Amino acid sequence: MARGFGEPPERSPQAILSEVEYPISRDDLAFAAAEADAPQDAINFLRSLPDRIYTSPNDVLREFGEASARFGMFSTQVRHRGNIGKEATEIGSTTRHP
């Protein structure tokens, strides 16, 4: 699914938002994406939005962040490795390198 890199933007879930009439339901939005030959993962992403009536493209966009997490994209559970080099050279560390 296009989320900024690699695929043309017209294949992203956001592309359909300017092509539909509002208000629109989640299911109608996913149906419109299917009718526009959107990729299956874009259609599934739209289906993962909360089931309600959306009044504008911005209304839908507000839900994209939460839907990304529910859909399993862009994990919110990122563990940062820290500064490995600094930690290895600090006094009291059992591992030291130049």
pLDDT tens per residue, range 56-90: 999 998 888 777 666 665 444 544 455 555 555 65
User: CA quadruple 38, 16, 32, 68: dihedral positive or negative?
Assistant: positive
* Of 63, 16, 22, 6, the residue nearest 42 (C-alpha): 16
pLDDT tens per residue, range 9-58: 666 788 889 899 999 999 999 999 999 999 898 898 899 888 999 999 99
Q: Does the pLDDT of residue 1 top 70, yes or no?
A: no
C-alpha to C-alpha distance for 31 and 29, rounded to whole angstroms? 5
**pTM for the predicted model, two decimal places:** 0.61
pLDDT at site 10: 65
Span between the terminal Cα atoms of the chain, in Å: 44
* Average pLDDT of span 88-98: 57
Q: Which two tokens stand for residue 41?
A: 């993962």
